[in-house]
Amino acid sequence: MTSLEDLISTWAAKFRTHPDGSRLPAHHAACLGCGENNPHGHHLRVHREGDGVVARHTFDERHVGAPGIAHGGAVAAVVDDFYGFLLYLTDGPAVTRNLVLDYLAPVLLGVEYELRANITRTEGRKLFVEATMSEVATSRRVVCSTALFLKVDVGHFLQGEPTGSFGQGSGQ
């Protein structure tokens, strides 16, 4: 199994190295939002677009809240993880301190949505970010969000105990 220290060394190398239009790497292979090896995960595929990030995502029966409608917590998880890709365009890791979502309309299962996010401003350790989620077919906006990320050093990530599948796979 890959150690957390190994993961940290590969993750730190991912900052500021991505050409415009390129696919951004997963946070790690077991990540709930984007990891290829997480059977409960959302398997987000995110690209850089200028100073922002963009992705398309479809929720399925694993994410159901009301019948046919994505659970609000699942939507928040996707938006939170999606923000985590903006960090690759900065100079180091940060974590979510504050996450705000406006659920403007139900997010429907089986419907494709486009997510977009960008950094609105930075103040020292603080990264203020915003995101939207819109239905691809109609451009109807269903979620808008703001969040505050705080830069941390890599020691922050040594607070947890890695579990069995942590770190396996390419993380792409």
In angstroms and rounded to an integer, the radius of gyration of the C-alpha atoms of the chain is 16
Least Cβ distance, residue 56 to ligand MYA (angstroms): 19
Comparing CB distances to ligand MYA, the nearer of 67 and 164 is 164
**What phi and psi values does residue 120 have, to the nearest 5 degrees?**
-90, -35
- Cα 138 from Cα 53, distance rounded (Å): 20
Q: Interface with ligand MYA includes 15 (CB under 6 A)?
A: no
3-state helix, strand, coil in the chain (%, to 5): 20, 35, 45
Residue count at the site for ligand MYA (CB under 6 A)? 21
| Residues 45-84 as x/- pattern, contact with ligand MYA by CB under 6 A | -----------------------------------xx--x
Is residue 37 within 8 Å of residue 172, measured between CB atoms?
A: no
118 strand-pairing partners: 52, 130
Comparing CB distances to ligand MYA, the nearer of 23 and 97 is 97
- Cα 57 from Cα 120, distance rounded (Å): 23
How many Cβ atoms from other residues are within 10 Å of residue 119's Cβ? Answer: 18
Q: Which stretch binds ligand MYA (CB under 6 A): 37-45, 65-73, 111-119, 147-155?
A: 147-155
Place of tokens 């995110």: 46
| Residues 18-37 as x/- pattern, contact with ligand MYA by CB under 6 A | ---------xx---------
**List of residues contacting ligand MYA (CB under 6 A):** 7-8, 11-12, 27-28, 80-81, 84, 93, 95-98, 126, 148, 150, 152, 154, 156-157
